[in-house]
Amino acid sequence: MYKKLLLASTVAALTFSGCGSRQYFTPEQTYNASTANMGDNIVHYSRDGATLASGNVLTKNQMVKLKLEKGFNFINNTKNVAITADSQGNCNIVAAKGTVATVKFPNALVAGNIIGKYLVYVLQNNNFGVYDLEKKAVVYNGKSEKAYAIDTRIANPLSIDNLAIIPTLDGKLVILDLSTLKVSKEMYISTEKSLNNVIFLGRLNNTLIGATPNKVLSISSKGKKELDKAVSEVIIDKDAVFVFAKDGNIMQLKEDLSVNSEKKFKFAHFSLATVYDDKVYALDKQGFLIVSNKSFSKHKVYQVPEVEGYAFVSNGKIYYDGTIIKLDTLSYE
């Protein structure tokens, strides 16, 4: 069932990102980019990491030689340990010395974060909760509506002070007070019926930024602001929010989601995007890699292999389909 759901989710995500469209991004000029052979392939993708066929893991900062157990995939890493899970509800907390804790859930764990002594989690059936690693027991359990089609970039829970911000698979943020294990607030980012899970959750100064594939939400002491736009990716870099929209528009926004600068790359369908070393990178599915400055006043488009599977960026390198692209070798000049 899990594999069928994942396949359906991936197909749906690709369809929504514009793969079914007959209109394609056609840059006027392209440049050649050098690539390297990865010698491995990504077999599972999550918001904060990618599992390789070898059992190793790509995190946002490095490649980690975890050698995961067969059937287990990387979910998240925190405090020198990694959260891994299989499709049967088994969850392993793994450190450099090996597995340090195991948990059995009734459904597969799809998102998680270790906050103090707690494992805050989201399951495949959209149940969420808190597991006490010391007591070895679930101390809080919540339920949300089932989501039958999801984007595979599932956001992990976030910790702010004594609060856990739990992103659900139906577009909701649950704010749980870990000192009382009671929900202090719930809010929906968007309410679409499918492909509406939270795909991004982050903090910019004292502002919470969340996104589904359909909308971006900013929450601060000044209130809520919304960007009602279909989204491929969201990145927080320094004091700005970068939104890569499904219509090919790239936007640099302030905390309140007002626009600093933007540029549209007509019909571009982004498979991956990042901001690295003060440059903006956006990879179109056809194999066009856009490199721009942050104001979008200058850019170049590089020709690279077409994207057929999962893509992930780690420590200044793009990995996909057995290919590695080093971002520091590319420029917009």
- The domain tally of the chain equals 1
Which residues pair with residue 207 across a beta bridge? 204
Give the pLDDT confidence of 316-327 residue by residue, as tens digits.
999 999 999 999
SS (H, E, C) 240-254: EEEEEECCCEEEEEC
**Model pLDDT, residue 324:** 97
**Comparison of pLDDT for 22 and 172, the residue scoring more:** 172
Query: pLDDT value at position 157?
Result: 98
End-to-end CA distance of the chain: 49
Do residues 98 and 110 touch, judged by C-beta distance below 8 A? no
Residue 22 is predicted with a pLDDT of 61
Q: Where in the sequence is the domain holding 118, given as residue range(s)? A: 2-329
pLDDT at residue 140 is higher than 80: yes
Q: List Cα–Cα distances, 221 to 144, 205, 268, in angstroms.
A: 26, 12, 35
Q: Are strands 57-59 and 137-143 parallel, antiparallel or unpaired?
A: unpaired
Under the banding of pLDDT at 50, 70 and 90, the label for residue 55 is: confident
Do 308 and 285 meet the contact criterion of CB atoms below 8 Å apart?
Answer: no
Sign for the CA dihedral angle at 221, 225, 231, 234 comes to negative
CATH number at residue 325: 2.130.10.10
Of 79, 95, 83, 149, nearest to 122 (Cα)? Answer: 83
Under the banding of pLDDT at 50, 70 and 90, the label for residue 299 is: very high
Alpha helices in the chain (DSSP H): 2-14
| 296-322: b (≥16 Cβ within 10 Å) or e | beebbbbebeebeebbbbbeebbbbeb
**Strand, helix or coil at 228?**
coil
Q: How many whole angstroms separate alpha carbon 287 and alpha carbon 46?
A: 21
Q: What is the pLDDT of residues 242-290, one digit of tens each?
A: 999 999 999 999 999 999 999 999 999 999 999 999 999 999 999 999 9
Mean pLDDT of 116-142: 97
* Tens-digit pLDDT profile for residues 109-126: 999 999 999 999 999 999
Q: What's this model's pTM, rounded to 2 decimal places?
A: 0.91
* pLDDT tens profile 5-31: 444 444 344 434 444 446 899 999 999
Q: Which DSSP symbol is given to 248?
A: S
Residue 65 has pLDDT above 90, yes or no: no
